[in-house]
Amino acid sequence: MTSAWHGLLHALRLAGLMTWQVTWSLILGFTLSAIIEALVRKSTIVRLLPDDRPRSLATAAGLGAASSSCSYAAVALARSLFRKGADFTAAMAFQIASTNLVIELGLILALLLGWQFTLAEFVGGPLMILFLALLFRRFLTSRLRQEAAAQAEKGLAGSMEGHAAMDMSVQGEGSFWQRLLSAAGFTSVSHNFVMEWAAILRDLVIGLLIAGAAGAWIPDSFWQHLFLSDHPLLAKLWGPLIGPLVAVVTFVCSIGNVPLAAVLWNGGISFGGVVAFIFADLIIIPILLIYRKYYGARMAWFLFGTFYATMAAAGYIIEFVFSPLGLIPKGPRHASVGDQGIRWNYTTVLNIVFLVLAAVLVIRFFTTGGRQMLAMMGGGPDDMTEHGHAGHEPDHDSESDGHRASGHSHGGAVSA
């Protein structure tokens, strides 16, 4: 009993230390994302994604990276865009970018694993979108697309539709800085900041707890056998295939899978395997079940197959391109998994500074109608029309899934 208790405390300690190490980077990443989202209206995205041409896919990637959503909200928003007329391939590209090409993911990868993994994220993400577009052109039939559209029109609830439907952009005349530094800009940034935290918090906590448990309870020998670490070439071939499957069964998505990726890297998974594992947040079992509700069983299986193939392909290219360029870390693997403890260093100073910033934004959020927004973030796709907030006017241009979305616009209009 004592041994089990000590094991539990060790796992919680590792999870807590990993949380301390990445706190400032997450606050910084979500703040920057909130600033970007404060100037981009979701209602403008649809008209920018009319087809699957390279320009539309590049636009989808850029807007998705700027939107910075948790996996569930990204999937809900992608369906909303598809229902309102966006091309299906472009909507999927937007979905991939909004979870895998975001600022906060790059920051936490650099802190826990190293800058090489951040570089791999921003190279591998566009590769995955490119491969997905090619597979869709070759294998996505008109009949399957029409079936998916018919199923999407049913508006079945998945998760985070309320959050996906919200438009909290600041609007009005003036320069970027004038809009951002205005009272409305401050409110918009605070609302985007807190809502993104609310959307991601569950997955982040689960990911940290799973990573802490894996680091404390699972010996490296288990991972080394699983990832064929004693056979370098086989490990490189096996990593991008097994990485996404580990993600599927651990149920961790969004940024929450990075701490576990650090554990897997220390355990011997290949560099390309880490990349494929990170990208696999969009094929975990709960999200596959949401795909089935949104688009039907056939499209859910199609998305699983094509997403898995593109994740593995991106992992292989990263592995075999980065290796000859000397961009894969050499020598012993020492990804940070909470083994350094808390010290008075730059991490502690930055955590204090950014926790103060977070507190200011949270206070602003709750003093400007934020509590009502939190209550609505999990609503169904067609439940948002009857809700409003004090001090906020519904965004009549932001109809989500065939209804008038609960838009939270601050001022006039700004184009994306």
Band (20; pLDDT cuts 50, 70, 90):
confident
Q: Which pLDDT does position 315 carry in this prediction?
A: 96
Per-range mean pLDDT, top range of 159-168, 244-253, 274-283, 307-316: 307-316
Residue 298 has pLDDT above 90, yes or no: yes
Select the more confidently predicted residue: 212 or 109: 109
Q: Which pLDDT does position 156 carry in this prediction?
A: 77
In DSSP notation, 87-139 reads -HHHHHHHHHHHHHS-HHHHHHHHHHT-HHHHHHHHHHHHHHHHHHHHHHHHH
Percent with pLDDT over 70 in the chain = 80
Distance CA 224, CA 305 (A): 27
Least trusted range by pLDDT, from 57-61, 102-106, 147-151: 102-106
Kindly state the helix (H) or strand (E) to which residue 410 belongs, with its residue range. strand 410-411
Least trusted range by pLDDT, from 72-86, 141-155, 390-404: 390-404
Task: Return the residue matching tokens 């569950």.
Answer: 202
Distance CA 356, CA 365 (A): 14
* Residue 212 neighbours by CB under 8 Å, 6+ apart: 11, 12, 13, 14, 15, 16, 18, 259, 338
User: Average pLDDT of 261-267?
Assistant: 89
Band (398; pLDDT cuts 50, 70, 90):
very low
User: Average pLDDT of 270-278?
Assistant: 95
Residue 267 has pLDDT above 80, yes or no: yes
Angle between helices 2-37 and 257-267 in degrees, nearest 10? 120
Residue 279 has pLDDT above 90, yes or no: yes
Alpha helix segments (H runs only) across 169-270: 176-180, 183-217, 220-226, 232-250, 257-267
For residue 41, the Cα-to-chain-centroid distance in whole angstroms is 19
Distance CA 311, CA 125 (A): 9
pTM equals 0.77
Per-range mean pLDDT, top range of 119-128, 186-195, 343-352: 119-128
Residue 245 has pLDDT above 90, yes or no: yes
Q: Which pLDDT does position 400 carry in this prediction?
A: 37
Distance CA 369, CA 108 (A): 31
Q: Which pLDDT does position 139 carry in this prediction?
A: 96
pLDDT digits (tens, 9 = 90+) for 354-393: 999 999 999 999 998 888 777 776 555 555 443 333 334 3
**Do residues 186 and 360 touch, judged by C-beta distance below 8 A?**
no
DSSP letter assigned to residue 50: S
Q: Which pLDDT does position 386 carry in this prediction?
A: 37
Q: Which pLDDT does position 136 carry in this prediction?
A: 97
326: left (phi over 0), alpha (psi -120 to 50) or beta: left
Q: Which pLDDT does position 294 carry in this prediction?
A: 92
Band (411; pLDDT cuts 50, 70, 90):
very low
Name the token pair of 40: 């981009």
Name the token pair of 77: 């928003």
Distances (CA, A) of 228 to 270, 277, 284, 322: 9, 16, 23, 20
148-183 burial code (b ≥16 CB/10 A, e <16): beebbeebbbbbbbbbbbbbbbbbeeeeeeebbebe
Q: Which pLDDT does position 340 carry in this prediction?
A: 63
Q: Which pLDDT does position 71 carry in this prediction?
A: 79
pLDDT digits (tens, 9 = 90+) for 299-337: 999 999 999 999 999 999 999 999 999 999 988 887 776
Percent with pLDDT over 90 in the chain = 39
Name the token pair of 392: 């906020």
Residue 395 has pLDDT above 80, yes or no: no
Distance CA 168, CA 403 (A): 17
Q: Which pLDDT does position 73 carry in this prediction?
A: 78
Residue 394 has pLDDT above 60, yes or no: no
